[in-house]
Amino acid sequence: MKMLEGITVLELGQVIAGTYGGVILADLGAEVIKIEPLRGDANRNAGIAPVHGESAVHLFMNRNKKSVALDLKSAEGLDLFYRLVEQADVVVDNFRPGVMARLGIDHATLKERNPDIVTVSITGFGEYGPATARPAFDLVVQAFAGHLDITGEPDGPPSRVGVPLADIAGGMFGCLSVLAALCGRALHGKGDHADVSMLDSLVSLLSYDALDHLNTGRVVTRQGTGHAHIVPWQAVPTLDGYVVIAAREEKFWQRLCDAIGRPDLKDDPRTVTNVARVANRNFVNTVLEDAFAQRTKDEWMAVLDEYDIPAAPVNDLSDVFSDPHVRARGLVRSYDHPALGHVRYPASPMQYSDWQFPNDSAPMLGQHTAAVLTERLGLDRETVTDLAEQGVVGVWEPQVAQGTRQT
């Protein structure tokens, strides 16, 4: 048995926030059925991160899912969706507020069809409030939530986090909302609706810095790789790259002093405590930069490991995926795509002892339309073909693959 086997999720996700949580649920064994418009969802835009004619966003975000293409604006397509809802556990969307109601598939309407249904709507700014109607993408929300202002070098412009943090956080909190609602339904006997905002998610991730500001009025300033409250906690240049040091506890600072050949710093008033080091940050930085400039990144990592100091090389992606530890952890998997052949991807970070995750390809548009409608709703193939000819559904027909690519 898979962890979530028997749970059916209808996903109306159009971009990362609406699909990332679905990847987690699908990895855990839920049957995640993407309900896509006949043109496909926005993640299929091959102009963004193209991989041999497909989008890397789609190839990652939609693995282990099924694709059913429906025209929800047609009466026939809407009726098919309602019938699927009657058999489902969860409906997830990330349309703008009000779209689900206009389509006739909001929580109140779907609950009439299935009283136990769980619905989760992931939006940029939430379903109420002055900014609710504003268009939102990851960069917009990172800026609005204050993350750009606290990210970057102290004397540089604001910077975004390198990954789409707002999208991913919205997807993760969306997944948590699904799991919590399913647990609540099992315990208390009713479904529920969750309003998940990318903005709310990022404000929550401000965590203790937000608490500090709210209670003291202190402003969080950009520190680059540094830390406002801990020194040393930063990237340091070596002869051929950077390493990061995270000497959060005094024992690590004292070991670092020995590692760089400066035991005198253990008793220096400027560096004897973390409070002193924060006050004399520039002095500490100069000492470290002078020391680390004498050796290569690998040489310093050998020394830091010997002294058991929390540190790491600043890896590029090639370094990451060739690292022996990453390889040993099985963090790269692959699936066979109908058009592209062998596709490698970063695996789920969750690992269980008694079962392994499914490993199905991101689907072609409408790849599972016929199978889902025949198996779940009892339609025959002729009816599905008629619906496709009427433009109510989209059906992908497999072709003999020739010259599939290895990615």
Active site residue 323: no
What is the domain count for the chain? 2
SS3 state of residue 259: helix
Verify that 280 and 309 share a domain, yes or no: yes
Verify that 256 and 302 share a domain, yes or no: yes
Verify that 146 and 186 share a domain, yes or no: yes
Verify that 79 and 116 share a domain, yes or no: yes
- The range of the structural domain enclosing residue 264 comes to 233-237+242-313
**Long-range Cβ contacts of 247-253 (<8 Å, 24+ apart):** 247/309, 247/310, 248/310, 250/274, 252/309, 252/310, 253/277
Identify whether 1 is part of a domain: no
Q: Which residues contact 280 (CB under 8 A, 6 or more apart)?
A: 270, 271
pLDDT digit string, tens, across residues 328-366: 999 999 999 999 999 999 999 998 888 888 999 999 999
pLDDT value at position 3?
87
pLDDT digit string, tens, across residues 45-58: 999 999 999 999 99
Furthest-apart CA atoms within the chain: distance in Å: 84
Verify that 256 and 365 share a domain, yes or no: no
304 near 236, Cβ under 8 Å? no
Residue of 71, 89, 93, 167 marked active site: 167
pLDDT value at position 405?
54
Extract the residue ranges of the chain whose pLDDT is less than 50. Answer: 400-404
Strands (E), 183-276: 193-197, 233-237, 242-246
Cis ω for the linkage preceding 237 (within 30 of 0): no
pLDDT value at position 366?
96
Verify that 60 and 114 share a domain, yes or no: yes
Identify whether 224 is part of a domain: no
